[in-house]
Structure 1
């Protein structure tokens, strides 16, 4: 129990360190650099973040695979899986880096068209960001593998240290008169150093084997077969996650976007804290699903959902109680008045998404990546139509209400999960070989 609590605390720390650090550093950078260069910094950071997520989208499959192999003691296969994952991420990372590098010249001209920022400065920043996509893709292999070992502390300590040092360096550099290029150069130096430290820890954790990238046929097929659905889901999350703000900006203009975007920003931690705090469930269930009874799995999921419900309801209640006052302090009376009517449905939608966290992790731990991806992407596609309809007929309030339905779709994962956990009624279902374990984790395709 203590180990799970420690992992949960470090998961929350990993999630919260960067946004809280940004709250302190962003005003300094904005004041010293001005809005235009601050915007370039934010765009470059977004490129690294989005590109890193896409390039590392297969790593959920790595967590599940390594956790299974660790559970049955297949050490050699575990190392082969890590090396294969590194090979896959290198291919994805290089592809996205090259694409971003080429697109940077086109993007830089359009980003700087309405400001006095030199195009060359913007271009250099975007190309540094494109190189960091590859670094993030490599780093994610080590981080995901350490999580598969249920070792969150060491990986999170390095990640948090890198983020805080990066933000501190940014503040010091702009105070000394340096530009956004210097900030991104410092970011690159810290991120590369952090990646080295992550792999040094991983090398020791695995018993000091060779970690050169390779494509072992069996492990590569296993990672690709399940990971493709996790990757598509991650890509869909990035795309669909921004569409509501794009639609609102097109229909009602940028002025209407401000209170809506602020409410989304305030409500996001309701889901984010649940997702980060309960992430340890994914490797925990993955490593034990092949060696314990379904009754034990069922009890584990129910206990996790109870914790999930407590965490989400508590954070949502606090935000509904104090959110309007915080928005007034943060953005002023005019924005707070506009946000008052749309904050409750947005918070409820985020809370419903947060309640789906246990189901998503359990589904993926049981190997049901395809089912989880289909529910997520299919539901988001349906809700996109609903969003457009409500936006046209009810304006910004309709868009906020649609997020309640958007969040409700996340709960659909519990239907196939319940079927999967209850389909076999024997007290014990044990796997005696790796093949049996893989079959169990695949589950029925519904």
Structure 2
């Protein structure tokens, strides 16, 4: 029986997808295993500080203008055109932009950390500890954004295996370093510092591998105006998208800590980890679609494949969050405690509802990224991020459940991805038909 072209497209890239899933799976999986241990060793207040620092590191896409995603797109395009030198140049320029943006964040937030600890995060505990956690979170931000550039270059070269191998080897080392430090010191700041050192080593390994693939030293700080123009053209909307994602997945945790305190932030973060774990794995499985679409010749047949892929893939993406949501009471009972599972059952179900809807749109989102449709994606992300936080603030009287409601509002807005893909396909089809019909009236006729 002849398989649909969309299914064949998926099958031909199954190996790349498996490495992409391995890359994304290992981090959240280890964090799921590590979190109850950290909660026990550091206490609810200490684990809340840990969650706050990791939330701060999520501002990286704002600091770096979204260059990681732009690197993937343009490395894929340049290598597809046989221009390895341009791929190396765009990677170097992207790493320079990420480093410069990160250093600005270090200076600004580093200087502001003591005041923020006293004024904005007074409910989080000792201002000195909060300030140190914020500073380490900013340092982690810089390292993660450089990591994102080198990983982006490897994805653009479709070397998902390289990223997977590095993550599979370094993540257990990271968990071991953090766990031993937390066990010996019972101190959140020391645990954060240990994790930062391993993350730095991981970024160095990715830079080394990317340099080998592109046949040049990727970490060289150079600024090519032409490459920056390319990055900014695509990256400005990736930055807007990143800002929206920050409002959706980072600012909410910071707001929980500021409004409700360390204990509520700890339980919200634990519930969020479970739901995000499923969504992150799904998003990673579809990452190979971005360089494939970026390097493809876009015609009517290819667009029909993409439309089928978005629907079939979206339907398949609904199943994992629904299954895990059903099993969540048992999972939380084993993972944390039966009491925690009972007290947070409705919160987890609300978070899974939004995760399922977000997962449904993942294939379409990645197809649109490959087609260069970052403007719409960025607008949806920023509007959705604002609505997410606004909704949470309106319903804040009910506690952390308000943030699950806000996430659902964001997820509903992402259904506009489908409308844009269909509109894009219709527009391209009409343009192609007009070009192939010499009797068609011209725009000036």
Query: What TM bracket, shorter-length normalisation?
Result: 0.7 to 0.9
More displaced 10-residue stretch of structure 1: 39-48 or 215-224:
39-48
Structure 2 CA distance, aligned partners of 1:182 and 1:386? 36
> In the alignment, does 2:302 pair up with 1:308?
no
Change (3 A) 1:42 1:391: closer
Tell me the equivalent position of 1:223: 231
**Secondary structure of 2:275 counterpart:** helix
> In the alignment, does 2:170 pair up with 1:162?
yes
Q: CA deviation at 1:5?
A: 1.8
Instruction: Provide, for residues 385-421 of structure 1, a one-character-per-residue CA deviation record: whole Å limited to 9, x for no partner.
Output: 55556667x8877765564443221110111211112
Structure 1 CA distance, aligned partners of 2:32 and 2:90? 39
Structure 1 CA distance, aligned partners of 2:173 and 2:241? 31
Tell me the equivalent position of 1:75: 84
Structure 2 CA distance, aligned partners of 1:251 and 1:167? 30
Counterpart among 369, 372, 386 of residue 374 in structure 2: 369
- How well do the aligned residues superpose, as a CA RMSD in angstroms? 3.7
Tell me the equivalent position of 2:212: 204
Instruction: Provide, for residues 269-292 of structure 1, a one-character-per-residue CA deviation record: whole Å limited to 9, x for no partner.
Output: 34222211111111111111xx24
TM-score, with length taken from structure 2: 0.80
Q: CA deviation at 1:229?
A: 1.2
- Is the CA contact 2:55–2:250 (under 8 Å) kept in the aligned structure 1? no
- Structure 2, unmatched stretches of 5+, are 1-9, 434-445
> In the alignment, does 2:360 pair up with 1:351?
no
More displaced 10-residue stretch of structure 1: 327-336 or 143-152:
327-336
> In the alignment, does 2:332 pair up with 1:324?
no
Structure 1 CA distance, aligned partners of 2:202 and 2:65? 17
> In the alignment, does 2:200 pair up with 1:195?
no
More displaced 10-residue stretch of structure 1: 221-230 or 398-407:
398-407
Instruction: Provide, for residues 208-235 of structure 1, a one-character-per-residue CA deviation record: whole Å limited to 9, x for no partner.
Output: 3675222222221111122011112112
Structure 2 CA distance, aligned partners of 1:9 and 1:355? 19
- Is the CA contact 1:270–1:315 (under 8 Å) kept in the aligned structure 2? yes
Q: CA deviation at 1:145?
A: 0.6
Structure 1 CA distance, aligned partners of 2:121 and 2:391? 35
Structure 1 CA distance, aligned partners of 2:254 and 2:207? 39
- Structure 1, unmatched stretches of 5+, are 430-446
Structure 2 CA distance, aligned partners of 1:261 and 1:32? 16
Structure 1 CA distance, aligned partners of 2:31 and 2:385? 30
More displaced 10-residue stretch of structure 1: 48-57 or 227-236:
48-57
Structure 2 CA distance, aligned partners of 1:51 and 1:131? 10
- Is the CA contact 2:124–2:130 (under 8 Å) kept in the aligned structure 1? no
Instruction: Provide, for residues 191-213 of structure 1, a one-character-per-residue CA deviation record: whole Å limited to 9, x for no partner.
Output: 23222221111111012367522
Counterpart among 81, 96, 99 of residue 90 in structure 1: 99
Instruction: Provide, for residues 48-102 of structure 1, a one-character-per-residue CA deviation record: whole Å limited to 9, x for no partner.
Output: 3444674362221221122112222222222221122122112211111212321
Counterpart among 411, 416, 420 of residue 407 in structure 1: 411
Tell me the equivalent position of 1:443: none
Change (3 A) 1:2 1:54: farther
Change (3 A) 1:331 1:198: closer
> Mapping of 1:126-141 within 5 angstroms?
126-141=134-149
- Is the CA contact 2:23–2:164 (under 8 Å) kept in the aligned structure 1? yes
> Mapping of 1:16-31 within 5 angstroms?
16-31=25-40
Instruction: Provide, for residues 84-124 of structure 1, a one-character-per-residue CA deviation record: whole Å limited to 9, x for no partner.
Output: 212211221111121232123334556997799693x6655
- Is the CA contact 1:48–1:129 (under 8 Å) kept in the aligned structure 2? yes
> In the alignment, does 2:53 pair up with 1:12?
no
Instruction: Provide, for residues 403-440 of structure 1, a one-character-per-residue CA deviation record: whole Å limited to 9, x for no partner.
Output: 444322111011121111222337979xxxxxxxxxxx
Change (3 A) 1:110 1:302: same
Change (3 A) 1:163 1:408: same
- Is the CA contact 1:65–1:81 (under 8 Å) kept in the aligned structure 2? yes
Tell me the equivalent position of 1:236: 244
Instruction: Provide, for residues 14-36 of structure 1, a one-character-per-residue CA deviation record: whole Å limited to 9, x for no partner.
Output: 22322322333344444445455
Instruction: Provide, for residues 283-320 of structure 1, a one-character-per-residue CA deviation record: whole Å limited to 9, x for no partner.
Output: 111111xx24231233044225413321x222133123
Structure 1 CA distance, aligned partners of 2:142 and 2:283? 25
